[in-house]
Amino acid sequence: MSETLSTLTRQRTPEHLVRTAERLFAERGITAVSLRQIVAAAGHKNPAAVQYHFGSKEGLLRAIVEFRAGHFNARRIEMLQALRDDERGDLRGVVEAVVLPFAQDEPPGSYYVRFLAQLSAHPTDLGRVFGSLDEDFGLSVQLLKKELDRHLDHLAPRIRWNRVAMAMSLAVHALADRQAALSRDENLVPDDQVFVSDLIDATVGLLSAPSTVEG
């Protein structure tokens, strides 16, 4: 009996709400899921549990990113710092620092990449959520920007950052689509090594292509 009560208590913590919301948002989309649906799926009886713990839907979105971002950022920062210290580092290494943590390091039971793909469809929410994160996230963005500036100086700044936005969207959505396919047990996807290598190749190609217009 006590073990059952302990399990229920753990399930009704803020972390369980975060995990439940991450899964529902990833599967259905950000606007298609209500706070009441999240509360019900998490097994809470209090319909205002999300507001109590996070204040609002935006607060919950931020909590999901804060819960997951540090895990991926640690490796990304390490990879980007190594590139910064190596003058021979190339654009592929920068793209690997973006893709590999998502492709290789996602914890079991995480829906974070699929969640990010859904969140990216809402630029205003995306900007507010990521604009409020801590210094570690800011460091990874700063390092990434410096490396991209170094390797994409053939592009005018306006074209460069438009290209970067397209490339990041390609990488995140491709990874999210693959994870969704695997969750449906589809067997028509390349193996992990082939898929990840090809995604990195495609992203590098998009970033490095010459521009025919002026920025």
| Strands in 8-101 per DSSP E | none
How many alpha carbons fall within 13 Å on the CB side of residue 125?
21
Amino acid at 143: L
Structure tokens at 121: 């469809």
DSSP letter string, 80-101 = HHHHHT-TT--HHHHHHHHHHH
Q: What is the CATH number of the domain that holds 202?
A: 1.10.357.10
* Alpha-carbon span 37 to 35, nearest angstrom: 5
- Contacting residues for 128 by C-beta, under 8 A, at least 6 apart: 58
Q: Which pLDDT tens digits describe the chain residue by residue (215 residues)?
A: 344 444 444 455 899 999 999 999 999 999 999 999 999 999 888 889 999 999 999 999 999 999 998 888 889 999 998 888 777 679 999 999 999 999 998 888 899 999 999 999 988 888 888 887 776 677 888 889 989 998 999 899 999 999 999 999 999 999 999 988 888 876 666 678 999 999 999 999 999 999 988 75
The dihedral built from the CA positions of residue 124, 135, 139 and 153, taken in this order, carries a sign that is positive
Do the domain assignments include residue 215? no
Do the domain assignments include residue 214? no
Range of the domain at 84: 2-208
The pTM of the whole model exceeds 0.75: yes
State the total domains in the chain: 1
* Alpha-carbon span 143 to 94, nearest angstrom: 10
Radius of gyration over alpha carbons of the chain, in Å? 19
Do the domain assignments include residue 136? yes
Cβ burial, residue 162 (10 Å; 0-12/13-18/19+): middle
